[in-house]
């Protein structure tokens, strides 16, 4: 299965700016992307990076498609050209495993959706030529509606590993708790560790 992994080098992970400087955010984003690419390949998928910044990417073991449009039209252009099933998996799923992706890839349905926390769509499988994405706003709800309007069958995947995308500082705790790849190693090497305060788990960083 072709697996498209959207990724940008333009001010990546800006909501982590309070805990990581720009160079660190770029390095951490690369580490997550590497984990996703490896998990996709181990699950039997064929990863392709979809990016606005193709000239800036020379460190990934996968084909690269350059498209300077926003996420929705860029992904829809891939779907326009598709001749078989296509999956879209976000590059910041730092907890992803081959088993979680196999479950996604092997689930029945003309559209398979793995929702993210907060109403987003972290991963998709598209098996029908009439389906197109819309990543604005609550895209999980919108993608269900788009499929329903086209009369397509939908399967929803309930998966902690696919639902956890890393955007906020609090999300780093999830990587340290449940991650097992480059993203977790990068955080540990950068001095991050778990901190438990009043029964809540967060992260702290050593000097």
Q: Residues 71-116: pLDDT tens digits?
A: 999 999 999 999 999 999 999 999 999 999 999 999 999 999 999 9
Rounded-to-integer distance, Cα 33 and Cα 165, Å? 12
Domain that holds residue 153: 2-167
- Whole-angstrom distance, CA of residue 70 vs CA of residue 18: 25
* DSSP secondary structure code for residue 61 in this structure: S
- Which residue in 45, 166, 44, 162 sits closest to 114, CA to CA? 162
pLDDT digits (tens, 9 = 90+) for 1-50: 999 999 998 889 999 999 999 999 999 999 999 999 999 999 999 999 99
Report DSSP state, residue 83.
Answer: S
In a domain? residue 192: no
Within a domain: 146: yes
How do strand 86-89 and strand 46-51 relate by DSSP bridges? unpaired
Task: Quote the number of domains for the chain.
Answer: 1
Residue 178 lies in a domain: no
Percent over 70 (pLDDT), the chain: 100
Residue 89 has φ and ψ, to the nearest 5°, of: -130, 125
CATH number at residue 151: 3.90.550.10
Q: How far apart, in whole angstroms, are the C-alpha atoms of residue 186 and residue 114?
A: 26
Domain for residue 82, yes or no?
yes
> Residue 205 falls within a domain, yes or no?
no
Answer whether 142's CB lies under 8 Å from 134's CB.
Answer: yes
- Strands 200-205 and 192-197, by their bridges, are antiparallel
173: in domain: no
pLDDT of amino acid 175? 98
176 domain-assigned: no
Mean pLDDT in the chain? 95
| pTM recorded for the entire structure | 0.96
- What is each CA distance from 184 to 7, 47, 81, 144, 178, in whole angstroms? 19, 21, 36, 33, 9
């Amino acid at each position: 299965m072709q697996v498209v992994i959207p990724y940008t080098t333009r001010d990546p992970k800006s909501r982590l700016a309070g805990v990581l400087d720009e160079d660190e955010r770029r390095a951490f984003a690369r580490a997550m992307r590497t984990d996703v690419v490896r998990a996709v390949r181990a699950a039997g998928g064929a990863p392709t990076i979809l990016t606005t910044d193709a000239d800036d990417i020379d460190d990934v073991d996968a084909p690269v498609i350059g498209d300077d449009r926003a996420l929705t039209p860029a992904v829809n252009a891939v779907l326009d050209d598709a001749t078989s099933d296509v999956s879209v998996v976000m590059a910041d799923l730092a907890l992803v495993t081959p088993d979680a992706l196999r479950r996604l890839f092997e689930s029945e349905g003309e559209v398979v959706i793995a929702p993210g926390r907060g109403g987003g769509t972290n991963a998709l499988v598209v098996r029908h030529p009439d389906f197109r994405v819309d990543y604005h706003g609550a895209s999980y709800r919108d993608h269900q509606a788009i499929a329903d309007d086209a009369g397509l069958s939908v399967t929803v995947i309930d998966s902690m590993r696919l639902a956890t995308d890393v955007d906020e500082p609090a999300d780093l705790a999830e990587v340290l708790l449940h991650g097992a790849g480059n993203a977790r190693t990068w955080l540990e090497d950068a001095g991050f560790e778990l901190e438990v305060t009043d029964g809540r788990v967060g992260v702290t960083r050593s000097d």
